[in-house]
Structures are given as C-alpha cells and as structure tokens.
Amino acid sequence: MWRRFWTLVAGAARGPRSPRSCTRQGSGAPVPGSGATVFALSSGQGRCGIAVIRTSGPASGHALRSLTAPQDLPPARSACLRLLSHPRSGEPLDRALVLWFPGPQSFTGEDCAEFHVHGGPAVVSGVLQALGSVPGLRPAEAGEFTRRAFAHGKLSLTEVEGLADLIHAETEAQRRQALRQLDGELGHLCRAWAKTLTKALAHVEAYIDFSEDDNLEEGVLERVDSQVRELELALSAHLRDARRGQRLRSGAHVVVAGPPNAGKSSLVNLLSRKPVSIVSPEPGTTRDVLETPVDLAGFPALLSDTAGLREGVGPVEQEGVRRARERLEQADLILAVLDASDLASPSSCNFLDTIVTPAGAGNPKENSQRLLLVLNKSDLLPRGGPDPSPNLPPHLLLSCLTGEGLDGLLEALRKELAEVCGDPSTGPLLTRARHQHHLQGCLDALGHYKQTKDLALAAEALRLARGHLGRITGGGGTDEILDIIFRDFCVGK
C-alpha cells in the first residue's frame, strides 16, 4: 500500500501529469519551417569592422564547406581563418574567421555556422548571396534563430523575453533586469512553485484514491493546505512588486510640473540633453504635454513636460493646464519646479498648496505618488545668502542656466527611481503584463482550492494553478503569444 502511494507521489512529481513547461523542453510546437537551413546577418547593419553572419539547420555544415577552402569543417567551437569564395563562380569574397557549432551544443540546438567577415557592405552582401546559392538555404525571418532555440528547449519563454529585453535595453537598470531574466531567475522561481503544486496535487490525489484504506499518514490534507497558504503569500508578494518590474522594463513616468516660467522646459532639455521643448521668457510657452524617453541616472524614464499651472487664461492654455493635471495623475514621480526667486507669487503658493503639500514631498506615504521639489534659478539668489525658503518641505536648489545643482538632482532622482522601479539586481522579477496575468490566474485558482469542500474539485484547482505557472515559462503557449514575443526580435537573432 505505501509503496503504491509513494510511486504515485513520485510519478506525479515527475511523470506524465507534470507539465512540460516545468522542464526545459521547449513548447513542443513544431518549429516554423524547420528542416530548412536559415542564414542572416546577425550583427548590426552598416559599415563596421567585423560583421557576423550565421546559419542554423541541417545544411549548415554543407554551407560552411561550400564557401571555404580548404573545404573541411573546422574543429567544433573553435575559430579558424579561411578564404571564403562563391560556391558557383569561385570568386574570392573575403578572408574570414569561421566557426562550426554542431547541434545540439549550439544556440539553436541545430547545426550552426558563423562567418566573421570584414564589415564592408559588399563583403556582407557577397557572402549572403553565396549562402543563398547553396541548396537548402534560405534567409531567416525576424527572431527565427531564437524561435528555433525555444522550440529545441534551449531557452524557456521567460528567457526568450529576457533576451529580447537585453537586445532593446537602453539603460543600465534595464540591462541588469534583462540579464537576470535571461539567466532564468523568473523561470527557476516558477518551476519551484510548480513543483510545490505538483507535490500538493499528488497528496490530494493519493487521498482521493487511498483514504478508504485508512492507511495514509495523518494530516496529509492539512499539510497541503499550509503549503498552499505559503505559496499564496509568496505569489502575492511578487504580484505587489509587478508594477515596479514593468516600470523598470518600459520606463517610469516622470512628470515635470510647476507654475508658468519656473523653468520646466529648461529642466526637461537639460535632463534629456536635447532641445525637446521650446524655452522662452513668455509665461505659457508650453501648451501641450511633450513626452521624451530618457536615461535618468541609469533608469529608463518617460519624461513629460507640461503647461505651467495657472487659472484665468485663454481656452488654449486652459486645455494645456487640463492636460497637465491629467498627466500629473498618472505620474510615478513628479518633478515639481518652482522659481527660487519667485516663491511668494500667487502661482507658486497655489502650486505648493495644491500639488506639493498633498503629495507629502520628502515624506511620501505608502503607495502615494512620489515628488521631488526643485527650486530652479538659484543663480538669481544672492550668493551665499540664507535659504530662501526655510519653511518649504525638503527641496533641491538648481540652476538650469549654469548647471549648478544638477549632480545633486541626478543623485536624488536615482534614489527616487530606485524606489519607483525596484532594484534591478535584486528586486522585482515580473516584467510583463503576461507574467502578472498568469500569476493572478494561479492565485485565483488557489482561492478556488481553498473554497471547495470537494476533493476532486480541489485537485482540479491545483492543476489549473500549476498550468498558469507553466505558461509563464512557455508550456502550452499559443502561437499568437509566441508571435507577439518573437516579433520583438530583429532578423539574425
């Protein structure tokens, strides 16, 4: 009896019930156009020192031999210098380093070859044409190498996403976050959670099958209940952090706001290091919301310039003010700008009362918007004079004109954005709405597990919960989801 029970538990833990996604075997879906050997330029377009062209598929070895002299394959995974020539005309094309990666020990899991050629456009197009003339070879589609790697179980879906993010990473924080995902951190976590559920499921199923025999260990179901509770806590914590992970991946919304002429547009131009917004001495210059992506102290941000907030103006500026307020509501971080030499004006006081004080600048409440108060035009203050505003909340002095105070502002921005986005090296792991959706689905299913008294339904709920975790790493992903993810890649990756 016990032997039967443990066989069942062990079987459920590894066996046919275990979702394919819990292992590193790909989607199981056929590779689109598999059988064909594909080739592409994998390095960037344009004139460069070295360009890398690669192939993947069964004819890779034949292609390598057809283009090179001597025609033997180089030793696996070591670079060799070869003369490349066109297989039909014999025309020499370049002297290049070539590499041979026999499958399955390659990026895609298939036989692969790489040609590191001189990066001139004529060399690259000559070698691509030569490869196109080899029977069985065709140009690769966007993301096709990675899709093949996924299909052969070389990468899980979260790792594929990490790779796409790494290629698109523009800031240090994005690079760190992408690298963690590519290293499989999110995948490991999901697999560990799925394993817990597999064990829990095995126990519930054993209880259904054997409880009549009265031979089961005491408290089996109680232990499953407590495992489910622990899992719920862990999932909820990660879900709470998901918003930060998404900000880290796609950029935090930083909104520059303040009364007219405070120097908001000057600050936006200074931070983005380009003339994004028109600057002029006329109050009411900026009328619309102007958005620009910037690297702020290593974090990705979408910086919005807005119209100066004031009442009693014409209809166009009034619409600008309405849009500014609307954008302020969506901000992850408000950069509040005041003219340090004009703090007593009605528009400055009004801005302090309605925007700065409610946000609790320098002392944010949990979940409230964060705000940094900047007093601009410090160059207009008397040198070494007293603090112009001892009664204001914590603030920074800056001069957009001279650049004084910029380092301090960038350091303060780095701290604020680390709060808003999380630490890219240790912080949030969920980076996409897709991850959030499945984690929520898993939690909902665990909720059903707790509600039901029927053991068969409870087992079904656990299976459903585990299915959601599996889909994060890629098991049973639909073609549409795969298409969306692989569309992010360029040709050659």
Footprint on this chain of ligand GTP (rule: CB under 6 A) = 260-266, 279-281, 283-286, 308, 376-377, 379-380, 399-401
User: Looking at 4-12, 285-293, 368-376, 461-469, which segment touches K ion (CB under 5 A)?
Assistant: 285-293
Q: Rounded distance, CA 183 to CA 32, Å? A: 25
Whole-number minimum distance, CB 309 to ligand GTP, in Å? 8
Distance between CA atoms of residues 373 and 24, nearest Å: 49
The reply on whether position 431 binds K ion by CB under 5 A is no
Residue 318 engages K ion in binding (rule: CB under 5 A): no
Contacts with K ion, 67-96, as mask; x by CB under 5 A: ------------------------------
Task: Give the nearest residue (CB) to ligand GTP.
Answer: 308
In the list ligand GTP, K ion, Mg ion, none, the entry touching 27 (Cβ below 5 to 8 angstroms by class) is none
Whole-number Å distance between alpha carbons of 276 and 266: 9
CB of 398 to ligand GTP, least distance (A): 7
Question: Toward ligand GTP, which CB reaches closer, 116 or 377?
Answer: 377
| Encoded tokens for 346 | 């009605």
Tally: H helices and E strands in the chain: 17, 13
| DSSP secondary structure of 157-217 | HHHHHHHHHHHH--SHHHHHHHHHHHTTHHHHHHHHHHHHHHHHHHHHHHHHHHGGGT-SP
Q: How far is the CB of 355 from Mg ion (least distance, A)?
A: 16
Burial 74-97 (b: 16+ CB within 10 A, else e): beeeeeeebebbbbeeeeebbebe
* Shortest Å, Cβ 302 to Mg ion: 17
**Which one among 261, 269, 399, 473 touches K ion, defined by CB under 5 A?**
261
Nearest distance from residue 271's CB to K ion, in Å? Answer: 17
Contacted entry of Mg ion, ligand GTP, K ion, none for residue 196, CB cut-off 5 to 8 Å set by kind: none
Q: Closer CB to K ion, residue 113 or residue 262?
A: 262
Q: Is 292 a residue that touches K ion (CB under 5 A)? A: no
Residue 294 structure tokens: 């910037």
The correct pick among 286, 378, 436, 473 for binding Mg ion (CB under 5 A) is 286
Query: Do the beta carbons of residue 413 and residue 374 sit within 8 Å?
Result: no
If the CB atoms of residues 261 and 272 are measured against K ion, the closer one turns out to be: 261
CB of 290 to Mg ion, least distance (A): 8
Select the binding partner of residue 266 from Mg ion, ligand GTP, K ion, none (C-beta < 5 to 8 A, by kind): ligand GTP
**Partner from ligand GTP, Mg ion, K ion, none contacting 71, C-beta within 5 to 8 A by type:** none
Q: Are strands 333-339 and 370-376 parallel, antiparallel or unpaired?
A: parallel
CA dihedral 27, 15, 434, 247 (to 10 degrees): -110
Q: How would DSSP label each residue in 324-383? A: HHHHHHT-SEEEEEEETT-TTSHHHHHHIIIIIHHHTTTSPPTTSPEEEEEEE-GGGSPT
179 exposure class (CB count in 10 Å sphere: 0-12, 13-18, 19+): middle
Contact flag: residue 285 with K ion (CB under 5 A)? yes
Residue 265 as a binder of Mg ion (CB under 5 A): the answer is: yes
Residue closer to ligand GTP (CB basis): 282 or 366:
282
**How many chain residues interact with Mg ion (CB under 5 A)?**
4
The one-letter amino acid at 80 = C
Cross-strand partners of 295: 300
Give min distance, CB of 326 to K ion, in A.
21
Least distance CB 285 / Mg ion (angstroms): 5
Distance, CA of 71 to CA of 64 (rounded, Å): 8
Q: Which residue is nearest to K ion (CB)?
A: 285
Of 238, 283, 200, nearest to 462 (Cα)? Answer: 200
Helices 185-210 and 2-14: crossing angle in degrees, nearest 10, is 150
Bond prior to 70 in cis (omega within 30° of 0)? yes
By CB under 5 A, name the binding residues for Mg ion.
Answer: 264-265, 285-286
By CB under 5 A, name the binding residues for K ion.
Answer: 261, 280, 285
